[in-house]
Amino acid sequence: MSRLMPIAAAIMVGFAANTVHAADLPPLPDLDQPLISDRPLGAGWYLRGDVGIGSTGLGTAVSNDAPGTHEHTNRRMGTGMSLGAGAGYQFNSWLRADVTIDHRFDARYRGQTRFGGADWHHQGQMSATTMLANAYLDLGTWYAFTPYIGAGLGFSAKRLNQYEITSAGTTVATLKNQNRNDFAWALMAGVAIDTGANTSLDLGYRYLNLRHANTGITTGFGGVSLRSLESHEFRAGLRWHFGD
């Protein structure tokens, strides 16, 4: 009997150790849970297309010509239309982000300088292609209407072309076309309207800071610089959401 006691004690210790080890194991998976997520493929992603129209303001316009530097008077930019596209992701009910590219078609610039007792009239065309990374805050949904605010950072490639200077009905100079790339930024506000079928109509306003544009240098006449360009745009777009 005394010989069996150590054997029995060893068996009990081993059994207790196995019981403690089993208690440390993770629980068995719940077989009622689906093995594959039921969230639709691509959910959260969206594509967008936009059309806009807007006016452009400018701080100053300056001619850097052979006789000296002359600031333009009566300067103004015409309205211009734009087309754009982009892709984005809806992180949750209040935060989303996208990348957009827009092309703004030619808008006419007009200005005036005075030299040698005569008025010189300036006119040219400016276009711009802008790429932005944007973030938005959606401010809640009421009866399918979701107001939002947003901001964007990127760059803009501008082209100032078909630039002519005339005086007394005669062309004095034709300045060279020029491309210029600058940092750009934007502020947005608007409302998205749920139109069903995974789509929403986006109506909004965008302030876009384009910085500067300039012509090339023409011998004997120098060039022209348009500074502090700011675009005020009203835009309409359509967003199509994947997997919603």
Q: Per residue in 218-228, pLDDT tens?
A: 887 889 999 99
Q: Per residue in 201-238, pLDDT tens?
A: 999 999 999 999 999 988 878 899 999 999 999 999 99
User: Which residue type sits at 50?
Assistant: D
Round to whole Å and give the CA distance between 77 and 203: 24
For the chain, how many residues are written? 244
The answer to whether the CB of 133 falls within 8 A of the CB of 151 is no
Token pair recorded at residue 77? 């930019």
Residue 22 located in a structural domain: no
pLDDT at 32: 54
Residue 150 located in a structural domain: yes
Q: Which domain holds residue 177?
A: 46-241
User: CB count, 10 Å around CB of 151?
Assistant: 15
Q: Per residue in 137-182, pLDDT tens?
A: 999 999 999 999 999 999 999 999 999 999 988 998 899 999 999 9
Half-sphere exposure of 26 (CA within 13 A, CB side): 3
Residue 13 located in a structural domain: no
Residue 73 located in a structural domain: yes
155-191 b/e with 16+ CB inside 10 Å = b?
A: ebbbbbbebebebeeeeebebeebebebebbbebebb
Mean pLDDT of 127-140: 97
Residue 113 located in a structural domain: yes
Q: Per residue in 51-109, pLDDT tens?
A: 999 999 999 999 887 566 789 999 999 999 999 999 999 999 999 999 999 999 999 99
Residue 39 located in a structural domain: no
Q: What are phi and psi of 14, to 5 degrees?
A: -65, -40
What is the pTM (predicted TM-score) of this model? 0.80
Q: Per residue in 12-43, pLDDT tens?
A: 545 455 554 444 555 655 555 554 455 665 67
Round to whole Å and give the CA distance between 213 and 79: 16
Q: How many domains does the chain have?
A: 1
Residue 30 located in a structural domain: no
What CATH number is associated with residue 226?
A: 2.40.160.20
Please provide the DSSP assignment of 98-163 as one string.
Answer: EEEEEEEEEEEEEEEEEETTEEEEEEEEEEEEEEEEEEEEE---BTTEEEEEEEEEEEEEEEEEEE
pLDDT at 66: 56
Tell whether the model's pLDDT for residue 200 goes beyond 80: yes
Round to whole Å and give the CA distance between 180 and 212: 8
pLDDT at 4: 45
Round to whole Å and give the CA distance between 190 and 193: 10
The answer to whether the CB of 82 falls within 8 A of the CB of 51 is yes
Round to whole Å and give the CA distance between 25 and 19: 10
